[in-house]
Structure formats: C-alpha cells, structure tokens
A and B are shown apart, each in its own frame.
Chain A
Amino acid sequence: MTQFVMPKLGADMTRGKLVEWCKKPGEHIKRGEIIAVIETDKANVDTESFVDGVFERVLVEPHDEWLPVGTPLAVIHVDGEVPGEAAPGPAPVPPPAVAVPAAAAPSSSAPPAVSAAAVEAALARLRISPAARKHALELGIDPAQLVGTGPGGRITLEDVEHAAAGPVPAAAEVPDKAQRMRDAIAATMSLSKREIPHYYLSTTISLAKALAWLEKRNADRAITERLLPGVLLLKATALALRSVPELNGFWRNGRAEPSRSIHVGVAISLRGGGLVAPAVHDADQCDLDELMRRLQDLTRRARAGSLKSSEMTDPTITVTSLGDRGVDAVYGIVYPPQLALVGFGKVVERPWIVDGRVAAQPVVYATLSGDHRATDGHRGALLLDAIDRLLQEPEKL
C-alpha cells in the first residue's frame, strides 16, 4: 500500500485543492498517468502517478478547501507488492472523507518534498528542534516562514503542526487568484534569495546569422509552421548544457545533483500578472519544429491554467526570454532547487564590429544567474560561451 498524498508541485507550493479524481477505485494506474487534478496557487495541475498499481480507495473527495502538502488523498496498491508487507499507511479504518490533518500523515512513498533541498538548507540556520525539523521536511514546509514559540524563539514540533494544519484563513481574507499567485512567487523568490548565493554573468551575442537563417526558413513556410527566435535560444541553451552539465540539475541535501536529462523550464508570463515556468522535457533532443509546438502548447495551457505535475516539478534549469519587447537584459533569480537560470533580453540592433568595421546588427544580451554553492563563474561563463557558439551556426540547431 502506498498513499497518494497532496504533492508538492514546486518550491512555492504548501497547499492544494483536490479538484477531481481521474481514476476510479479498482482501476489500474500506470506511472505517469493522470491520477487527479490538483489546484495550486498557479494552475490546475494534471497530477501524474508516481507508481504502477491499483487505485484502491479514495481518502478525500474533491472539495473546495485547501489541504496542506502531504495530506493523504488516496490509497494505491503498488504492483508486485505483497499485502501487508509494504510501508504502513495509517490505520486501516475507513478514513473520513474530509481533510485529514497532515500532522497525522507519515507520507510514505510519493515524494512530497521536491524542494527538500531548499528547505533543508534553510533549516541549518534556524533554531529548530530535530523532530520539528524532520517533520517540516516531510511536509515540505519552509521553516523560515514559521514563528517559533519555544524557548528563545525555537521552532517546536507544535509550531510545524500548527502551520501544517493551517492556513486557516479568517473568512474575511480569502485572497483572490492573482493575490495567491503573487504570494506563491513571493515565497519562492524569498526562499531563493535567502538561501542561494547568486553570481551573475552577462554577455552580448550577435544574432545576425541566426535571424537571417530564421527569416529565410520562415519565408518558405505557412504561418502555422513558422518559428519564433525564442525557439533558437531555447535549443541553443539546452544543447550548451550538455557541455556544462553541472549547471543543470538540483541542489539537494547540501550537494549539487546534476541531472542527465535536460528539462528546460520556460518562464511564461500570464496575462493578468504572475508567471509559471513549466518544463519542456528533454529539450536538447527536440528538433526546432517540435520545440516550437511544445512551446505553443505549454504557453496555451499555462495561460489556461492547465499544466501537468511533471511539468511543474521537473525543470532542471529555467530560461527566461523577453522576446521582442521589454528591456535589454534580465538578471533572473534561480528557482529553487535548480542550480541556474539563463536570461535573454529583447533582441536589439546595436553597433557591432564585423571584419574591423562597424555594422548595425541584431544582438541579444544573455545572462546567467548561478548558484555559487554549486558552480563558479568560470563554469557559468563556459555555458554562455557555448550558447553563443551554437547560435552562430543556426542550421545545426
């Protein structure tokens, strides 16, 4: 038996609403199949199962109430598991069909704390009891947000449980969607700036070749098959990460954990404010047409508020690109527990030296924000260098 618990779909998530079950009791579910729709502060997320098994029973019916991350929602009988042998769930009494307090939930196999690393780093500096520390990690709660009531302001187990059981918002202050999005971004960015010692690099990249190539390519194509310049930047970044893999991955348990897969989170601004950065999986392996299709699909779904859980939790790096509007350069904040963020400003015409003469050329300011715990500026510079090189040979992207 394993429990499907309220997942933590990103460093900023502390709670979610169960909108809908996508499986019925008795049905078999495969790893990666959608098990439920979970509402977060940022989107309605099609949440994928972590295991193969039989969807045994529902612990919580969909209802309009925030449940803390880690709350058991359903029981899954994992394939190949001998009954009674596996991780003990809570007592097999029929659980109430309402919110189970997360404090009572030893969340077993489904990993709730995707950003455990970020949380753990925060713990090292805080006055917090070991039990409270462990519990906060299990629940994916950022202890730095807690107010300690123990001796000398120490955070106790009760404080963690109190936070897990809440938020019990006063009826008067139920923040609207835009405000919740703002709050979620505030929490993640604060965590990042508190814990991640950033270094910043920037370079100017000529896009003359890339844009000329793109213009020619698009001229022969129907509107539906045209590529945006951002697709070239995305692909170049993904390919460049192959040569500097230590910038691609996560900071967990006090160590960098580079990822073999390159899942690029693409920052998408939402009309009406806020942003999300869902993953384009294996971006280095997609050809440009495929990448364009995925980008369109992701943008559409992000704005409709319908993303998949893997898209929320898998990005190994984030790219933010200002496109053809905005300002020259963007210096991003690393999204924990990722290790780096690449920023592209808008494409602008600037004087550029070609063969000893000044010429007007389209250029883009590329920046890298890196976690200095994981890498040094020298490695970061190699990444920006590699991106530049790749963009000078657009036909090979």
Chain B
Amino acid sequence: MTTRDIRAAILDVLSDVAPEIERDKIDPRVDLREQLDLDSMDFLNFVLGLHKAFGVDIPEADYRKIGTLEGCVAYLATKARPIGAPSAAA
C-alpha cells in the first residue's frame, strides 16, 4: 500500500463518519476532531472504520497519534504493512 492509497482509504473512512466533509479541504496538520467537528462517538467510529479498512488494532493509547490526517497516514504506514496486504481490499 502506498502512502497515497493509505491516505485515500483514510479519507473514505472519514467520509463515512462525516458525509458532508470536503476531502480536498482537509488540512493534514490540523486536529481532525477540531477541523471536522467530530465528537467522541464520531472519533470512535473513525477508529472502528480504520480497524475494518486496514485490519489493524489501534489501542486507545495511540489515539493521539492519529489525531491529524498526516499523523494518521504515518501511523498506518508503519502499522498496516505486515497485516495490511491481505486485508487491505477495502
């Protein structure tokens, strides 16, 4: 999975959680919760969506690492590689 694929898959998950967002307008360095007005339930759904799309388990302690789009891509690039290949169909 290239960084580009990961980014696209993350944006797909985000669009599920917050259908009205404009993908190109997301600032990769600004906190997603602030930027997209996600509440704790939305954020949990986002994490659940990433879990399904990438087949990775994201412990609560790592939530702060996936707070921004940039952070999220970096985190999944390292985490998703071993498991990512077989289950990355989504």
Contacts and interface: CB of A to CB of B under 8 A. Distances in A.
Interface of A: 215, 218-219, 222-224, 226, 228-230, 269, 271-272, 295-296, 299, 323-325
Contact-size category for B: 10 to 19
A325 B39 contact: yes
A325 B20 CA distance: 20
Interface string B43-70: 1100110010000011111000000000
B40 interface: yes
A219 B41 contact: no
A224 B41 contact: no
Contacts, number: 42
Instruction: Decide if the interface of chain B is mainly helix, strand, loop or mixed.
Output: helix
B61 to A, nearest CB: 8
B23 interface: no
Contacts of B60: 215, 218-219, 226
Nearest to A322: B39
Contacts of A228: 40-41, 44
A310 B39 CA distance: 26
A325 B44 CA distance: 14
B20 A271 contact: yes
A218 B41 CA distance: 15
Top 6 A-B pairs, shortest CB-CB distance: A323-B40, A223-B51, A299-B41, A323-B39, A324-B40, A218-B60
A223 B33 contact: no
Contacts of A323: 39-41
Contact of A224 (B18, B40, B48): B48
Given A222-B57, A325-B34, A271 B18 contact: yes
A230 B40 contact: yes
Nearest to B19: A271
Given A223-B44, A295-B41, 20 more contacts: A215-B60, A218-B60, A219-B61, A223-B47, A223-B58, A224-B48, A226-B60, A228-B44, A229-B40, A230-B40, A230-B41, A269-B39, A271-B20, A272-B20, A323-B39, A323-B40, A324-B33, A324-B39, A324-B40, A325-B34
Contacts of B20: 271-272
Interface in B1-53: 18-20, 33-34, 37, 39-41, 43-44, 47-48, 51
A222 B47 CA distance: 11
A271 B59 CA distance: 27
Contacts of A219: 59-61
